[in-house]
Amino acid sequence: MIRDYEKAAKLRVNWIKEILEESGAKGIVFASSGGKDAVLTGILCKMACENTLGVILPCESKRNFTEDKDDALLFAEHFDIEHIIIDITKTKAELVNAIGDKAGKIDNVNIAPRLRMTTVYAIANGRGALVAGTGNRSETYMGYFTKWGDGAYDFNPIADLTVTEICEFLQHLGAPEVFWTKAPSAGLYEGQTDELEMGVSYAEIDKYLLEGEKGPNFHIIERYHKASEHKRLPVKKYGM
């Protein structure tokens, strides 16, 4: 577990700078959800590169257009990060309508994260920038991310951090309290929160990841981890 967040910030900022230099990219783009992960990613990227853009991408759910958007705007203002808002509600509706019943039942929930990925990459390509990921270690272990959605990026400066560490990191960096106290949510539908959907708290997940402590819901953690293994493995390629 990280003890020196000042040192951790410097190491990550230098790492980001090296990636930009090696790639020849002119800047960074990231999906700004208003959640703790996106906030920490955005802060670190801005510390490494002035040309950092946060893209706020509300879609359908009321929370996306109120709490999440408001928090993303607060974050952008507090840390002086350039931002834009792109509503992808109609885009999703048109895609769902175009598919119709041609392919049977479709995964309506995961469409939004994949549309966000497409949008962020389109913007990054136009700016000659790289896409920064916002997923944390706890989510990755549980497989609580969308393959080819929020799980797609060019680099991720917070991938090794648990939710517990991210909250402490944000406190160290002086982020407003709302960002390290609000319930984690992908905002995929009304009332959705990560912990309610998974049936286990991040505190319990993190105690296992950081200390090896198996809590009362350890069976849920292992079930999620095993079922999502395909998300963490390289794509299978014939002959390779």
Taking the chain (240 residues) in runs of 10, the rounded mean pLDDT of each run is 92 98 98 96 98 96 87 96 97 92 79 96 98 97 96 98 97 93 72 86 96 97 97 92
- From the list 159, 123, 195, the residue with the least C-alpha distance to 40 is 159
Of 172, 145, 173, 149, the C-alpha closest to 159 is 145
Domains of the chain: 5-189 (3.40.50.620)
The CA–CA distances, whole Å, from 179 to 41, 131, 212 equal: 12, 22, 27
pLDDT at residue 105 in the model: 79
Instruction: Give the pLDDT confidence score for residue 106 in this predicted structure.
Output: 78
Which pLDDT score is estimated for 184?
A: 76
Give residue 205's pLDDT. 97
CA 134 to chain centre: 3
Q: Given this model, what pLDDT does residue 221 score?
A: 98
Q: What pLDDT is stored for residue 187 in this prediction?
A: 65
pLDDT at 188: 65
CA distances (Å), origin 109, targets 156, 187, 192: 23, 10, 11
